[in-house]
Amino acid sequence: MSLSRDSALNIAQVLTEALPYIQRFTGRTVVVKFGGNAMVNPELHESFARDVVLMKLVGLNPVVVHGGGPQIGSLLEKLNIHTEFVDGMRVTDSQTMDVVEMVLGGSVNKEIVSSINRNGGKAIGVTGKDGQLIRARKLVVNRNSPGMSASEIIDIGHVGEVEHIDTEVLNVILDSDFIPVIAPIGVDAQGHTYNINADLVAGKLAEVLQAEKLMLLTNVSGLLDADGNILTGLSTTEVDGLIADGTIYGGMLPKIGCALGAVKGGVNSAHIIDGRVPHAVLLEIFTDEGVGTLITDRGA
């Protein structure tokens, strides 16, 4: 069955629009944080895997960092392990950390690796503990309580932040035909294991690798203004202003902060994109309009 003339022209237009981006980004590293609906929806999961495979085939070096909050919560519930949250972060005792490591470093990581391999790529899964990729330190949470002269320090267990990234193992993978898929688990100097926010890990990796792009998949269409319109082509100065005037607030603040930090740290651009859109990664990289919020240090 042959294509209609209009269909053929549409395909040709898409390919020619993508060509300059392919030429521009060949050999460059793109760090993608995979999470949200795209992880739990089978069709979106497969479209993401195909996007990553195509990126590698046309000469880019994709690095995938994934979350797994819903999967962790589901297994904790099945095991009848109670869990609490402080300021949006899961309190992680030793028993919970065992589940986190089992889910992130095991089932979720291997599912993504298998999906990429099934779609013609060659992926390899690692955690931050492999080759001491991610050196972590315990995250300290301070909370100001009414009636107290000093802030209260809250222990949330095995929750960490990135202290240092050693890219030796990553460079070996990137110099091959393999695509690294990274679970955000780190280890400290004493060998203690920590769960780290996947956005933060992706941002730090992008900085250390001096990536061309950091892409954070979300369950929203991007950063919105007061009228619900997507804001894009923003400079870091403009983003700082939007934080100051309250346009950026609540749950979007940590994600924007991660993107902002990466760009200020040398990453050429950061993208907050809608993971609910099929092939969102390809659309953002290889089309003129994209599907989310673009932040650069130069403006656009």
Chain segment 197-219, per-residue pLDDT in tens: 999 999 999 999 999 999 999 88
Higher per-residue confidence, 151 vs 109: 109
Q: Is pLDDT above 90 for 256?
A: no
Amino acid 281 reads V
Higher pLDDT, 6 or 104: 104
Which residues partner with 216 through β-bridges?
33, 272
Percent of the chain predicted with pLDDT > 70: 91
* Domain 27-211 CATH assignment equals 3.40.50.300: no
Burial 63-79 (b: 16+ CB within 10 A, else e): bbbbbbbebbeebbeee
The more confidently predicted of residues 166 and 5 is 166
The per-residue pLDDT for 148 is 46
For the segment 17-21, the average pLDDT, to the nearest whole number, is 84
**pLDDT at 14 (0 to 100):** 72
In whole angstroms, how far apart are CA 62 and each of 39, 45, 175, 194, 221?
17, 16, 12, 25, 22
Check pLDDT > 50 for residue 300. no
Higher pLDDT, 150 or 117: 117
Tokens standing for 278? 């099929």
| Banded pLDDT at 41 (limits 50, 70, 90) | confident
What confidence score (pLDDT) does residue 215 get? 95
The pLDDT, as a whole number, for residue 268 is 93
- Can you give the residue ranges of every domain in the chain? 27-211, 220-276+284-300
pTM, 2 dp: 0.89
